[in-house]
Amino acid sequence: MNKNICIIGMGYIGLPTAVALANSGYSVTGVDVDEKIINKLNKGEVYINEPLLDSLVKVAVSNGKLKGTLEPKESDIFIICVQTPINKDKKPDMKYVINAIDSILPYIRKGNIVILESTSPVGTTDEIIKTKVESLGFESGKDVYIAYCPERVLPGNIMKEIYDNNRIIGGVDNNSALKVKEIYESFINGHIYIADSKTAEIVKLIENTYRDVNIAFANEVLKICENLNINAYEVIKYCNKHPRVEILNPGPGVGGHCLPVDPWFLVDQNENLATMIKVARSINDSMPNYVFNKIEEMTKELKEPKKIAILGISYKKNMGDIRESPILKLIDILKNNKYEVSAYDPYVLNCEIVESELDKCIKNSDVLLIGVEHSIFKYLNYKDILKNMKNKLILDTRNILDKKKMETIGFSYKLLVYDKD
């Protein structure tokens, strides 16, 4: 096989997809509008911190199978992997997908394959991608092949999941779906399912919405249990002993670029029907404020200025991605309410709020707040941390520390929920 693939967008999904395809034999051109990303890529370097990604990129670039450019070029296959954010009104902003398809139109020839991977509103592949490609005079399924193939990888474990997860391919016609399946079969170990493009589009949206709604349920359980003076973590632990119950973990909110965004695509197209989805979003969005109220309660007797030292600001554990992090929202609320805030996160580099040394972050603080469950935080020397603090309060929003151990050291330890003494 010596086919050429042009991938538009060298971000969290485009770059891993590019290396997977390059290392399975394709000649891949990675396109991005950001010159810094392309210069790095051509040196075999990456800006995304993902296990295995940097070494796989080095291999692909050094053997000439992956090259970065600022402009697309003629290829057998085009894959669009650009971001699809929401705007201020929570409506999908499709300009990156539109720019991407427009940028490849001049290079599309008879026999080419065009794939959309970006999470998109239902109908995008048909209404935007197919319409634009067919405006060149081609007929889909005969002259060109068009499909939607959503990524499903978990940030923090992208390279493993890109190979091992099951995939769904939604063709705008059956010929297209079968052509696209051949490409993904070259590297995917999981099963590949074939559907129509609208089905594949909604599957992607529903998967992420399912998780968001389930996290919202866990957060509501937390609020209800606190109202009734019951420890929610204990409740969830016992509920999950039932063979058909699996409640997720409550926490300070839902971050990342997927779960806080994708449910809105369903809301936008189904305003009067997606009622639970909308409520779930508002529950998850309420969590930073809920944590803030907890801090207010814990510190109401303390003198100002009150200092909150936060361990972990990324949107989830063991990684440095801060996009939509609920802890950043909490920091804003704290600062707007005249709290002093310092933060320590060994995964987050080049962020103004983050101290490079733990001691500096902790010094003279009143409350130590666990924001993210980075594994390393379980093993810190909390005796030393305590010595550095003004008031010895801990608020553990992720339920990672041992209450008894913390109290033996001398902390007053609070879980995010009501915590019986």
Residue 292: both structure tokens together: 């803030």
**Catalytic pick from 181, 204, 307, 316?**
204
- 3 catalytic residue (yes or no): no
Query: Which 8-state DSSP code applies to residue 381?
Result: -
Residues 250-269: x/- map of binding to ligand SAJ (CB under 6 A)?
A: -x--xxx-xx----------
Q: Which is nearer to ligand SAJ, 133 or 328 (CB)?
A: 328
The greatest distance separating any two alpha carbons of the chain, rounded to the nearest whole angstrom, comes to: 75
Binding to ligand SAJ, residues 86-125 (CB under 6 A): 119
Spatial contact of 194 and 181, defined as CB atoms under 8 Å apart:
yes
- Of 286, 324, 326, 323, whose CA–CA distance to 310 is shortest? 326
Sheet holding 192-196, edge to edge: 66-69, 27-31, 4-8, 77-80, 113-116, 145-148, 167-171, 192-196
Residue 256: both structure tokens together: 């990342």
Spatial contact of 319 and 155, defined as CB atoms under 8 Å apart:
yes
Category of 312 on φ-ψ map: left (φ > 0), alpha (ψ -120 to 50) or beta: left
Segment interacting with ligand SAJ (CB under 6 A) among 48-56, 79-87, 97-105, 205-213: 205-213
Q: Which is nearer to ligand SAJ, 233 or 315 (CB)?
A: 315
Among 294, 316, 374, 392, binds ligand SAJ (CB under 6 A): 316
Binding to ligand SAJ, residues 222-251 (CB under 6 A): 248-249, 251
Size of the site for ligand SAJ (CB under 6 A): 20
**Catalytic pick from 67, 258, 306, 329?**
258
For the CB of residue 157, give the shortest distance to ligand SAJ in the complex, in Å.
Answer: 9
Q: Which is nearer to ligand SAJ, 133 or 213 (CB)?
A: 213
Segment interacting with ligand SAJ (CB under 6 A) among 18-26, 96-104, 207-215, 333-341: 207-215
Report the distance separating Cα 53 and Cα 46, nearest Å: 8
Is 20 near ligand SAJ (CB under 6 A)? Answer: no
Q: Is 87 helix (H, G, I), strand (E, B) or coil?
A: coil
Residues 119-158: x/- map of binding to ligand SAJ (CB under 6 A)?
A: x-------------------------------xxxxx---
Report the distance separating Cα 398 and Cα 418, nearest Å: 13
Angle at 387 between CA 382 and CA 393, to 5 degrees: 65
Is 371 near ligand SAJ (CB under 6 A)? Answer: no
Report the distance separating Cα 206 and Cα 211, nearest Å: 9
Helices (H) and strands (E) in the chain, counts: 16, 13
For the CB of residue 233, give the shortest distance to ligand SAJ in the complex, in Å.
Answer: 12
Is 16 near ligand SAJ (CB under 6 A)? Answer: no
Residues 290-309: x/- map of binding to ligand SAJ (CB under 6 A)?
A: --------------------
The one-letter amino acid at 312: G
- 258 catalytic residue (yes or no): yes
Q: Would you tell me which residues interact with ligand SAJ (CB under 6 A)?
A: 119, 151-155, 207-208, 211, 215, 248-249, 251, 254-256, 258-259, 315-316
Active site residues: 204, 258
